[in-house]
Amino acid sequence: MKARLLIATLLCAAAMNATPHSGGTNADGCHTDHRTGDYHCHTPKVPISGARTYCHVVQGERRCGYSHSTCQDLVASYGGYCRLE
């Protein structure tokens, strides 16, 4: 019984570390975490036909699928440059 309670407690504690965020993903379903600067992806989105998207390039790493204004905001915060995809 104590083992089950311990396991349940540990599972609940582990679940508390997963924090949701507001989203704001690019066309590829990815975004930069503004707290840490890390770039990660979620479920990919269906591409919009004819949309112009940009890559935010930081230290040689391409982070693509952003609109021009969002890319410029990322450059202001993290450096790098924007390149039309």
Return the pLDDT at 46: 72
- Confirm whether 53 is domain-assigned: yes
Return the pLDDT at 57: 94
Q: What is the mean pLDDT of the chain?
A: 77
Q: What's the rounded Cα separation, in Å, for the pair 78 and 69?
A: 14
Return the pLDDT at 20: 47
User: CA angle at residue 23 from 38 to 16, to 5 degrees?
Assistant: 75
Return the pLDDT at 78: 92
- Provide the residue range defining the domain that includes 77: 22-84
- Confirm whether 80 is domain-assigned: yes
Note whether 63 and 76 are within 8 A (CB). Answer: no
- Confirm whether 77 is domain-assigned: yes
Is 1's pLDDT higher than 80?
no
- Confirm whether 48 is domain-assigned: yes
Q: What is the pTM of this model?
A: 0.54
Return the pLDDT at 65: 84
Q: Of 81, 61, 63, 57, whose CA–CA distance to 25 is shortest?
A: 63
